[in-house]
A and B are shown apart, each in its own frame.
Chain A
Amino acid sequence: MCVAIPGTVIEKKDHTATVDFGGTKVDAEAGLVEVREGDRVLVHAGCIIQKLDQKEANAMTALFQELEDALAEEEEEEGRLNAL
């Protein structure tokens, strides 16, 4: 469900934004998110549903950091249980 891919806003006019997906361009409804030219956005069924975090490039790093944190937290918990 909910097929959505990221693209870049190349033009904004009223509540419509032209979003470029590497050559494919969609006039997307932009009434649900404040966007400007150059913004990276997520488009679903011709509608911008979310603005992408500008830290996108670091997303994978952040993601793995989050995993390590999750793991550390979990081990801490196990340690506590074992101590009981």
Chain B
Amino acid sequence: MNITMAHGAGGETTERLITEIFMSAFQNKELLRSGDCALLPGAERIAVTTDSFVVQPVIYPGGDIGRLSVCGTVNDLLAGGAEPKYLTAGFILETGLELNTLKLIADSMAETAREAGVMIVAGDTKVIGGKGGLMINTAGFGIVPEGREIGPEMCRPGDALLISGTLGDHHAAILGKRMGIKNDIVSDNAPLREMVETLFVNGIRVHAMRDVTRGGLATILNELAKSSKVCFELEEKALPVSESVHSFAGLLGLDPLYMGNEGRMLFSVDEADAEKALELIRKSRYGENAARIGGAAETHGYGTASAPSVILKTLIGGRRILKALVGEGLPRIC
């Protein structure tokens, strides 16, 4: 069966869609109230984020748009120092979408939410004419514990930079599928709650976190450098990249530093805690390939406070400046 305009008309078909697919997947007491909005206990500082997911194909090696929407939202909350609590999900369904596909995606979303310890407390469905596509918009809410001061502006000179896993896997998995290139690369999409909470529980002084998504590591480091008014120095030989992603990138003239992930966290931590933090990350789920890739420094010489920069010490000892991604990072072949 496929999605038709009737699924978005608000009648019985819509209700059946909601009950059979979403309610059954996401069931919790807030959703079962079926109110116009969820009523939730509050906190002093609430972290809020919103994100939209339009990935194609909707099911890809290692994941799907449902899992992705939860991971993306939860990891954003974690990066803000919050304990993720609630998610909302708005679905835009194109006519022609197979209900089985939608069911699979909703179930995957529910499973990921359970893993991440969040509740999907409100949702919406609209149907538009199209070719069987599916898009998801989410909002995420989390609570920031008292005394936790974390943010993109908090990196300090001397901090160690840790990355929780290999670069570019999600990007390569999607692009490979889209371009019909066979490989064993699977998306790294994962909710990183366990990893992040382990660090706090063990008293690691985490100053800033970012999940490495679109634009890749180079782009998010540029953003962090700008916010924190520091510069970063990376060691190319320390960057974790799997052999498959390395060769995939080589084939298409792409650079893993500019390829996105969906389950990798970058940590800027106090140097004194760096080794312990690395060990904790490596022991946590999804963190086995974590690496220490460099550190933060005062901006001098190569950068100024108004134009901070990211510098990579290359394998042959050269200095390469990494700017934020420009354009779309298109393959360059001929």
Binding site for B on A (CB under 8 A): 1-3, 5, 7, 21-27, 43-45
Contact, CB under 8 Å: A25 / B251:
no
Pairs across A and B, CB under 8 Å, 13 listed: A3-B251, A3-B253, A22-B243, A23-B242, A24-B176, A24-B181, A24-B184, A24-B185, A25-B181, A25-B182, A25-B183, A45-B333, A45-B334
Q: Does B214 contact A (CB under 8 A)?
A: no
Interchain CB contact under 8 A, B252 and A3: yes
**Overall SS of chain A's interface:** strand
Residues of B within 8 A of A7 (CB): 247
* Interface check B34, CB cutoff 8 A: no
Q: Which residues of B contact A (CB under 8 A)?
A: 176, 181-185, 242-244, 246-248, 250-253, 332-334
The reply to whether A3 and B183 form a contact with Cβ atoms under 8 Å apart is no
Interchain residue pairs A-B with the least CB separation, the first 10 = A23-B244, A21-B247, A24-B183, A22-B243, A3-B253, A5-B250, A22-B247, A25-B182, A24-B248, A23-B184
Q: For the complex, what is the distance from the CA of A2 to the CA of B332, rounded to whole Å?
A: 9
Q: Which one of B185, B250, B253 has the greatest number of beta carbons of chain A within 10 Å?
A: B250
CB distance from A28 to the nearest CB of B (A): 10
| CB–CB A23/B243 < 8 A | yes
- B185 & A23 in contact (Cβ 8 Å cutoff): yes
Q: How many A-B residue pairs have CB under 8 A?
A: 50
20 additional A-B residue pairs with CB within 8 Å, beyond A24-B184, A25-B183? A3-B252, A3-B253, A3-B333, A3-B334, A5-B247, A5-B250, A7-B247, A21-B247, A21-B248, A21-B250, A23-B243, A23-B244, A23-B248, A24-B181, A24-B185, A24-B244, A24-B251, A25-B181, A26-B181, A26-B251
Which partner residue on chain A sits nearest B332 by CB separation? A3
Chain A residues with CB under 8 A of B244 = 22-24
Which among B247, B253, B333 is the interface contact of A23 at CB below 8 angstroms? B247
Interfacial chain A residues near B247, Cβ < 8 Å: 5, 7, 21-24
Known: A22-B243, A22-B246, A23-B243. A1 touches B183 (CB 8 A): no
Known contacts: A3-B332, A3-B333. The answer to whether A24 contacts B182 by CB under 8 A is yes
Q: Which residues of A contact B185 (CB under 8 A)?
A: 23-24
A1 vs B182: C-alpha distance when bound (angstroms): 23
A residues in contact with B250, CB < 8 Å:
3, 5, 21
